[in-house]
Structure 1
Amino acid sequence: MPNYWLMKSEPEECSIDDALAAPDATVPWTGVRSYQARNFMRDDMKVGDGVLFYHSSCPEPGIYGVARVASGTRPDPTQFDAKSPYYDAKSKLEDPRWLLLDVQAVRKTRVLALPEMRDTPALADMLVLRKGNRLSITPVEAAHWHLIVDKMLK
């Protein structure tokens, strides 16, 4: 049985349109620098899991598409690149701190903006809606996934 996730990306870094335009509509999910989000990728996310592609740090934050996890994890090369904003001087090639996995965009959707999500009582306990939650990757309950994908994004 698949798991479901909400993955945040700033559209200037990688938008749903960028992902759909990439070869095989697949992009490496680089730049995760939260241990909890990294651990979700490493320990819980599996190929085929569903992903809500969320744009953050933009005029209209919200869900912009549906994707799937397309690979297992591997070291994120940006941690070793001193020119990258994601460079981590403490990370070592032989013992990398940060991982990435590939995400394959399935389809662009209408925008399910944050205010609409907040105004939907059935979504009230989604992690992304909790005050102070800044994680770039959060688990999504199956009931929330099906409500969003099957009803709200059609």
Structure 2
Amino acid sequence: MRAVVQRVSRACVRVDGQEQATIGKGLLVLLGISVRDGADEARLLARRVAGLRIFDDAAGRMNLDAAAVGGSVLCVSQFTLYGDVRRGKRPSFEAAAPAEQALPLYEAFIRAILALGLPCERGVFGAAMQVELVNDGPVTIVIDTDDLARPRRA
């Protein structure tokens, strides 16, 4: 799984001009699911996202997680995070999970976020969405569960 996590002061999702979900301070998570992903990756990624200490403490240091600042999560499915542009000019999405595999894992990620105590809104899976956000900082972090499995350099 791959997530682009943005610290936001507000974010919302619209479908056909109608607002579907909105949050104030918190995290906008663009979530990509690969054909290799399963429930373990959903839980692992949810723990990492919820535990990100990217909100400022009283000293102005990024030292607090979303729960500590009363933040929420807005999760938006984004298969294009697995676009492969190594050959040609048109991305290949072969690594992205098909909808019938991705939807249950998207929902598992959201359930895991909720179980960790964070309010979580969602986009409309598979819909053409307009995502509006105010990136606070800006702070943007990319997390890939494949990278989390690799050892850190000494």
TM-score normalized by the length of structure 1: 0.30
Higher relative contact order, structure no. (Cα contacts within 8 Å, ≥ 6 residues apart): 2
TM-score normalized by the length of structure 2: 0.30
**Which has a greater percent of strand?**
2
